Every structure is written in C-alpha cells, then in structure tokens.
Amino acid sequence: MFIQTLDILGTIAFAISGVLVAMSKRMDAFGVFIIAFVTAVGGGTLRDVLIGTTPVFWMKDMTFMAVIAISAFVAVVFRNELKHLRKSLFLFDTIGIGLYTVIGIEKGLNAELHPTICITLGTISACFGGVIRDILCNEIPVIFRKEIYATACIVGGLVYFLLREFTGDINSIFLIAGGVVIMVRLLAVIFKIRLPSLYKKKQKSKG
C-alpha cells in the first residue's frame, strides 16, 4: 500500500510537470494530456518492459489513468496559480524523480536483480518520462545537459542500499532515499553545481 501511494504521488508530480511544459509550448488540450501522460508513465513503462512485467503497470490498474487525467485537469484549471512555470516545473519534476527512483529500485529487487541494475532501473524510471517529454516538446532533455539530474538518482540509489544494511524499515528507507534524491537535486540547483563539460568554450579572437 505504501509503495502504491508513492507510485501515485510520483505520477501526480510528473503529470503536472508535463502539463507545465505543454502549456509553455501553447499546446491544445489533447497535446497537454498526451505530454502529461508520457511524462508520468514513460519511465515506468520502460522499466516494466525491461524486467518483463507485462502488461505494464498502467495497463493493469486504471487508477493511474484517472490520476493523470485529474492531475492534468487540476494543473490546467490552476495554471494562474502556477504562473511561475519554471519554478513549478522544477519542483514537481524533482519530487517525481525522487519518488520514482525508489520505486524503480524496489521493482528491481522484487525481480531479484543485482543492486547495480536496481539503481539503473530506478534512474530509468525517474528520468525516461522526462526525456520523452522534452523530446516531444523540442527541448534537449535535462538528463543530457550538465545539470545534476540522473546523478541525484544514482546517489539516492546508493543511499537506499546503504540504509538496507542498517535497518529493515522499508518505509523509512524509501522516504530517506527519495528525500536524498530531492535534496541533491535542490542543492545542485541552488548552488549551481553542474557536471563538467567535455567541450571548452571558444575564445573570441582579438582584432
């Protein structure tokens, strides 16, 4: 029940982030829903396909379809309250990756996979929906930029397995590891911490 609650909360967060991006691109109602949908279920769908869980989660439980539809509707209705789109998008996106990271890891453990693969699944669950969203909206996906994004998921995954060595309280592990993902992402943005670029800036020629 606790895992399903986190799954639904992550779906809400990602659906709203999808709505915000779609509205910033001035899409129609159908476009807004589609972007909200792929953002919310894209990562989880790829995760389930990779571990052989088919039909994928949202096909077996109509709750997710309803949650996405309601979240999209509420986000559109209260779009004026969410007028600071960039800040709102960042907040919901960050919450989404934190929740989906731990869910993906748990799915991997249930499939009896190696911890490294579990962390990879958690990162895929958290990031791939945003990748699809950004590609459809003609943006370079955040994960492919210098921002701390997937790295935050990996750190949270490492904390998840570290905590498993000291406590058996799975709810606490979920909350702390998910919180670490969110905190790393927030601190990286606040203090402008970025991954190093592989390309040097071109110096302007004099004269």
Q: How far apart are CA 49 and CA 127, in angstroms?
A: 15
Q: How far apart are CA 157 and CA 68, in angstroms?
A: 26
Residue 118 has pLDDT above 50, yes or no: yes
First-to-last C-alpha distance (Å) of the chain = 68
Q: How far apart are CA 40 and CA 99, in angstroms?
A: 12
pLDDT band at residue 4 using 50, 70 and 90 as cut-offs:
confident
Provide the 10 A C-beta neighbour count for residue 15: 31
- pLDDT value of residue 191: 86
- Residue 63 sits at the vertex; the CA angle it makes with 124 and 48, to the nearest 5 degrees, is 30
Provide the 10 A C-beta neighbour count for residue 165: 6
Q: How far apart are CA 179 and CA 121, in angstroms?
A: 18
Total count of residues recorded for the chain: 207
Q: How far apart are CA 15 and CA 65, in angstroms?
A: 10
Q: Across residues 72-100, what is the average pLDDT?
A: 82
Q: Nearest Cα to 11, choosing from 126, 142, 177?
A: 126
Q: Across residues 160-181, what is the average pLDDT?
A: 93
Residue 85 has pLDDT above 70, yes or no: no
Handedness of CA 101, 2, 10, 8 (dihedral sign): positive
Q: Across residues 139-153, what is the average pLDDT?
A: 85
pLDDT band at residue 107 using 50, 70 and 90 as cut-offs:
very high
SS3 147: strand
DSSP code at position 148: S
Residue 126 φ/ψ region, left for φ over 0, alpha for ψ in the -120 to 50 degree band, beta for the rest = alpha
